Chain A
């Protein structure tokens, strides 16, 4: 189980997304996993042509520090970093998350598909940015009043997270500081349900929902 998860939204140079996906699916999955990272999923953002989104998990913060050092100082990143960085404009939009409840994270036993598979399904990630620090009352509020609304609308929540407040222990890669977020991942089938005004008033902005299409080798995928 990943107790720490990064939600990474990269803005790429125009037209470079397919190049990065093909490089990423080929070179950066098993190589990161060998270092102790769990590459949970990687996606095209269906609404932003040059946005690549991926999820990376770790057993805990200590593992994160060690695993990232091992990967970014290792031979695979060294061999391909120029090609990867050449596709990117911005890779700093990163949210550091923890499962909102002990069992709320991704626990994927799925085998990673081989190269050449077709991409499958669409899932959503909804990011709620709160004005206040996320503590138990907010988690309980989401659990009791928001997740049931999603379910009633036909969504299946796959996992949900809140901000991990531990400080970034691999500062070479920035994360968004001073964020207070709750993020849920869902298999959306119907229209998004209206959310209560009281809930919305506790947010900095209207929740942002990303529609994510898994790349061919994404471990996280949804069946059609």
Chain B
């Protein structure tokens, strides 16, 4: 029902805007344009999270630590955004953090802002990316201990009951990556 109705709207739009590509192409594009509203269906709701985290990043370390947490996600902006609220039980003390994601129809990308509850006036530089073949890939630029880095988030296993998020840093412009944080979600 939902997609049929949308396709109808797209046809109407195509008729009004003949300057754009031919009707059928426009219909398919516009249907695609709404698909992102389902990108985060797999992670909506309340989750328990197992964190597996590299103790020291970009330091040649292979020592990991494990801890627990929770995460709750819901859509905002009529499906063009999500917000999640996280409790992260770090060994040194629990903190909270939230992710805001917004969809940009022009670039067809999600933008991802991470807010640390202890630093409420700051956000890390946003990440940008999308889902393809059931994998979400997001990239951004940041600095780590003064060093420019590229950051990559991956969402995998999204069609299983235990989706996984992971974070990696690169110091060589994305040629090689060090994964430093894995979150396994379960309900």
Q: Which residues of A contact B (CB under 8 A)?
A: 99, 101, 103-107, 140, 143-145, 147-149, 152-154, 157-160, 187, 189-190, 193, 223-224
Q: Which of B30-38, B100-108, B117-125 contacts A (4 or more CB under 8 A)?
A: B117-125
The reply to whether B118 and A103 form a contact with Cβ atoms under 8 Å apart is no
Q: Is residue B56 contacting chain A, with contact meaning CB distance below 8 A?
A: yes
> Which residues from B are CB-within-8-Å of A107?
146, 148
Q: Which listed residue (B56, B57, B118, B147) contacts A101, Cβ 8 A?
A: B147
The reply to whether A154 and B90 form a contact with Cβ atoms under 8 Å apart is no
Q: Which residues of B contact A (CB under 8 A)?
A: 55-57, 59-61, 63, 90, 92-93, 95, 116, 118-119, 121-122, 143, 145-148, 171
> Which residues from B are CB-within-8-Å of A105?
146
Main secondary structure of the interface of B (DSSP, over half): loop
The reply to whether B146 and A144 form a contact with Cβ atoms under 8 Å apart is no
> Which residues from B are CB-within-8-Å of A160?
145-146
Closest CB in chain A relative to B79 CB, distance in Å: 31
Q: How many A-B pairs with Cβ below 8 Å? A: 59
Compute how far the CA of A189 lies from the CA of B115 in the bound complex, rounded to whole angstroms. Answer: 13
Closest CB in chain A relative to B151 CB, distance in Å: 14
In the complex, given contacts A103-B147, A153-B92, what are 15 additional A-B residue pairs having Cβ atoms less than 8 angstroms apart?
A: A99-B146, A101-B145, A103-B148, A104-B146, A144-B61, A145-B56, A147-B56, A148-B55, A148-B56, A149-B92, A152-B93, A160-B146, A187-B122, A189-B122, A224-B121
Residue in B closest to A224 when the chains form the complex, CB atoms:
B121
Please provide the 5 A-B residue pairs with the shortest distance between their CB atoms, ordered closest to farther.
Answer: A103-B147, A159-B146, A189-B119, A154-B118, A144-B56
Compute how far the CA of A41 lies from the CA of B145 in the bound complex, rounded to whole angstroms. Answer: 18
Residue in A closest to B88 when the chains form the complex, CB atoms:
A152
